Each structure stands twice: as structure tokens, then as C-alpha cells.
Amino acid sequence: MLVPLACLATFTKIGTLRASSRLPETEAAAMDLKSGYPFWTVKNGLPGSFPPLLEDISCDVAVIGAGISGALIAQSLADAGLDVAVLDKRDVGWGSTSASTALLQYEIDTELVALAASVGEPAAVAAYRACEGAIAVLHELAAQVGHSGFARTKSLYLASSQRHVQRLRGECALRRRHGFAVTAVERAQLRSRFGLDAPVALLTEVAAQVDPYRLTYSILRNLRNRGVRVFDRTTVLGWQAAPRGLRLSLERDTAVRCRHLVVAAGYETQQYLRRKVAVNHSSYALATEPVEGGLGPLRRLLLWESARPYLYLRSTPDHRIIVGGEDDTVDLPARRDTAVPRKAGVLMRKLAKLLPGKELEASYAWAGTFAETRDGLPFFGPHEQHGPRVHFAMAYGGNGIVFSVIGAAILRAQILRKAHPLKRLFSFERL
């Protein structure tokens, strides 16, 4: 079925939530974040349902946000034996998770060479290695909960122009020096093996892809079966300090008492802080109709390029191609809505140029807010504005799902008062 390219999802901001005050009702209510449907929501429909919270409860940790980040964090905390409650003002997975293209890589948007120059080589390598390990964790978790569309792949990082060749060769050398499985693929090999034309590319052995919407539902259904309480269509209006913890005020005059709070509300999370820690952009994506004859060598390959902003693509089990990119600095829903057909047209032209000879037809197109930090790294943990019991999960950048796996372990260590090697690097302290 061909869905008009004006079909999209847009992601907007919410008002700032202060630690001891209530939000005005217009700000606290769930905002309409979509003017269409991303591919995953159309493909999966509504995989399950969770109730709203209608009574007061208590728990060890309350997690605001039932997207993929909140689900991964709840999983990690529950595995540690903590009593967890998950709350979301929308349906589960209905925020930016439903629009994620879900390329799982150990590479982040900031190349290892550049990151090493920013935070030091040992810290940069530790971040990359943690991302590599997170893919294995996701594989194990996907197998445990089932029905996630998880598949191991390889990742191919193309030099967008001859000017980037030396940069990629230097990147390859540094990664190989630290034991990462990466190979430089020259132009002739790119043509013969993949049917692609670029001066050089880096082929990474460790990568994966997933259906993020299905995975979120699978994790939360599994947790519910284990006794974790999950509530959607439940709006948190504010929170304040209480004896030995916090008291969350909810709509319907209910409350949650908890020892710790994790705010995992995606790109809305930044609005809870007075000082912005990331810059918002808009990003665009589309899914094609199934490609006749299949995708050949692209079947289990993530593809992205060295230009910024970059084009990226992946496949789906039914032989569609999901392609994304064309980021811009516009963060206004109405303007983004208008831009989707034009941006989708650009993405299709770039895809046709990259894959000559393939018969491609666009099916679904969408857009959403995308946030980037200055160094490409996420933020996990308390912020001085809210005190030590309020933890933030801000898995910003192009590798958000992988970051969330690492962040879940960092937050668990923080709450249990244990050490974690990346605690400081991924915290607000580095600001």
C-alpha cells in the first residue's frame, strides 16, 4: 500500500518541569506528536495495552517514559531486584521510539579520532568499546523477550568524497590499534562486493538492527509478567521531595512515592533543565515498498556516510529499505510537516543514485526532532538542579538505543551506589 509522503511524525517540546511545582494543565497534557504514522506503527499496529494508573502506589524507582530507553532502564533495574514502576503520558512506544530507524552500531556520530581529541584517547576508546558490548547485550535481551526483529548485521561507512579518504584511513588505523574489527574497503572491492561507488569505506563486523517499537512492547510485556508495573496514558504533573525519597503528583489526583526517579522522556527530557545540553534538529526518513528480487549484499548491512549531515540506510525483513537523513535546523512542527514531501523526494533521489538499477518506490515518510550534544555523547545520571534522587536519561545522538543500554547500567550502579567506569564520562560533570 502506498501511503502519501505527507504521512509523518513530528516531535515537539514540552514546558519545563520544576522539582517542587505543578505544571499548568496545558503543558502537562500529552501533546499531539504525530500528523501521520511512522513505518513501525503501521507495520505492528497496537501490539498490546497497558492500563492508566488510577490509585496511589509506592516503588523503589519510578521511570517516566515508556519508550525504548525507559524499557531498557526498567529492565536493568528490575534485574537488580528493584521494585520499578514505568509511567508514560502516551501509549507505550508512541513517542520518538516509534519513529526511530534503529541502526545499532558501536560507532557514534563523532568519529573515534575526533572523540579522542575531545575527551582523551582512553575515554574515547572506552566509550566505543562499551557501545560494542551493548550490541551483544541487546542481542541477548532480544532473544530473551522475543518478537523484536533483531538481526545481526555489518556496518559500511562510506567516504562521501575524496577529501574524506585520509580521515577514514586514520579512523580505521586508530580503531584497529585498539582491537576493533574494521577493514578499509577500496573502490574496486566496493563495486564488486556491494555494487556501491565510493573512494573507500570502513567495513565494521559488529552491528545490528531491530524493530524498536516491537522490542519496547516485548520488554515491557515481559517485565509486567515479572511483576513490574507499567502504566501508560498517565501524566506526571510534578514531583517534590518526600521522606526518604520523592512524591510524584499525577493526573486523576493520584501519586507515586519512590526512592528514586528516572526521567527517560526522550527529547522532551531536556525541557526539565534550565540549561540546554543539546541542540535540536529535525531529521527525515522514509521506507520504500519491498524491493523486487531482494536486496542482495545489502540485506544485512547498515550503510552510512562521512558527510554531515549524513545519509543512512538499512533493510527490513520484508526487503524494504529505510533511508534517513537530510537533517536541518528547523524545530517547528508546522514547517517540518511542510518539508516532509520535499525532503522525502531528496532522500529518494539520493537513494536511487546510491543504488542504480534498483526499482524503488517510496511508501511511508516521516520526520521528527533529533538532538545532538556537542561531543556526541549522552547524559545519564543526576543533575545539580534536581538533586541526587532524580536521574536523567538523555540518549541523544544517532546511536540512542545503544547508548540507552549503557545508560541503564550506569543508572543502576548509581542507584545501588556502585561504581561504573563510564559514570563520569556520560554524566553532566563533563560540562
pLDDT in tens, 6-39: 333 333 222 333 344 344 333 344 443 443 478 9
163 pLDDT more than 90: yes
Contact assessment for residue 354 and residue 196, using Cβ atoms and an 8 Å cutoff: yes
pLDDT for the residue numbered 331: 75
Q: For 305-356, what is each residue's pLDDT tens digit?
A: 999 889 999 999 999 999 999 988 877 778 888 888 999 999 999 999 999 8
Q: What average pLDDT does the structure give for the chain? A: 90
Q: For 185-197, what is each residue's pLDDT tens digit?
A: 999 999 999 999 9
pLDDT for the residue numbered 177: 98
pLDDT for the residue numbered 15: 30
Percent of the chain at pLDDT > 70 equals: 92
Terminal Cα distance for the chain, rounded: 48
Q: Closest Cα partner for 181 from 143, 141, 139, 128?
A: 128
Instruction: Please provide residue 230's backbone torsions phi and psi, each rounded to the nearest 5 degrees.
Output: -125, 125
Collect all residues with Cβ–Cβ distance below 8 Å to 371 and sequence separation of at least 6.
267, 270, 278, 279, 280, 281, 394, 396, 397
Rounded CA separation 122/129 (Å): 10
Three-state SS at 196 = coil
Rounded CA separation 123/402 (Å): 17
Rounded CA separation 91/65 (Å): 10
E strand intervals along 121-244: 151-158, 182-186, 200-209, 229-231, 236-242
pLDDT for the residue numbered 334: 82
Q: What is the second-level CATH architecture of the domain 1-20+36-45+279-372? A: 2-Layer Sandwich (3.30)
Domain ranges of the chain: 1-20+36-45+279-372, 47-100+213-277+376-430, 110-208
pLDDT for the residue numbered 402: 98
To the question of domain 47-100+213-277+376-430 being in CATH 3.40.190.10, the answer is no
Q: Give, in order, the Cα–Cα distances in Å from 87 to each of 42, 67, 224, 233, 248.
A: 24, 10, 13, 8, 11
86 pLDDT more than 90: yes
Per-residue pLDDT band for 368 (boundaries 50, 70, 90) equals confident
Q: For 383-423, what is each residue's pLDDT tens digit?
A: 999 999 999 999 998 899 999 999 999 999 999 999 999 99
Strand 182-186 relative to strand 200-209, pairing: antiparallel
Contact assessment for residue 380 and residue 394, using Cβ atoms and an 8 Å cutoff: yes
Residues in the chain: 431
Q: Give, in order, the Cα–Cα distances in Å from 67 to each of 190, 267, 396, 400, 423.
A: 37, 11, 14, 12, 22
pLDDT for the residue numbered 431: 84
Q: Check residues 397 and 70 and name the one with the higher pLDDT.
A: 70
Decide: residue 60, CB within 10 A, 0-12 exposed, 13-18 middle, 19+ buried: middle
Q: Check residues 275 and 332 and name the one with the higher pLDDT.
A: 275
As beta bridge partners, residue 324 has 285, 312
Q: For 48-57, what is each residue's pLDDT tens digit?
A: 999 999 999 9
**47-100+213-277+376-430 and 1-20+36-45+279-372 share a CATH fold:** no
pLDDT for the residue numbered 73: 98
Which of 50-59, 163-172, 253-262, 265-274 shows the lowest per-residue confidence on average (mean pLDDT)?
265-274
Task: Say what angle helices 112-119 and 121-145 make with each other, to 10 degrees.
Answer: 120
As beta bridge partners, residue 129 has none
